[in-house]
Homo-oligomer: A and B are copies of this chain.
Amino acid sequence: MHNDTYFINEALKEAEKSLAEGGIPIGAVLVKDGKIISRGHNRLIQNDSVILHAEMDAIENAGRLNHEDYLQSILYTTLSPCPMCSGVILLYDIPKVVIGENTTLMGAECLLEKNGVEITVLNNLECKKLFEKYVEENPESWKNELSKVGNSTNVCDF
């Protein structure tokens, strides 16, 4: 049986794949019964997309699962999920999310937590390093990405 570190490393491989494509290094894998059933990575830059975050890509690549399949799934993502990705997790009732790190960017974890989704934050150094290196080496590109979105961390402040 693989552990969280194994699966987050697989999500990291996806992040590295995105980086190699000229994209933002964020990756995700969807796991069911201890097996990876789909993989995905951020495709905003390389696919000229605004919806293909790593989590969305992985969930899309899993195909049209049944509710019971989602209920037995765990989503691994290298970075804290934004409101859209948190929304898709709630939509399909994915009960558990394992997050590589949330210090470089905090998403809408509050929304997941408050809706009973089990969250584990690994504080994984490799996830952090890869993302920080990207931001450091691509300051303009990352500034541009950040400028497109609102503040995701406060969506539960009501």
Contacts and interface: CB of A to CB of B under 8 A. Distances in A.
Interface of A: 44, 48-51, 56, 59-60, 62-67, 70, 82-88, 90-93, 108, 111, 114-115, 147-150, 152, 155-156, 158
Contact of A152 (B85, B90, B147, B150): B90
Contact of A56 (B44, B51, B152): B51
**Copy count, this protein chain:** 2
Main secondary structure of the interface of A (DSSP, over half): loop
12 contacts: A50-B59, A50-B62, A50-B63, A50-B65, A50-B92, A66-B147, A66-B148, A82-B91, A83-B88, A84-B88, A111-B111, A156-B158
Contacts of A82: 87, 91
Contact of A92 (B67, B88, B150): B150
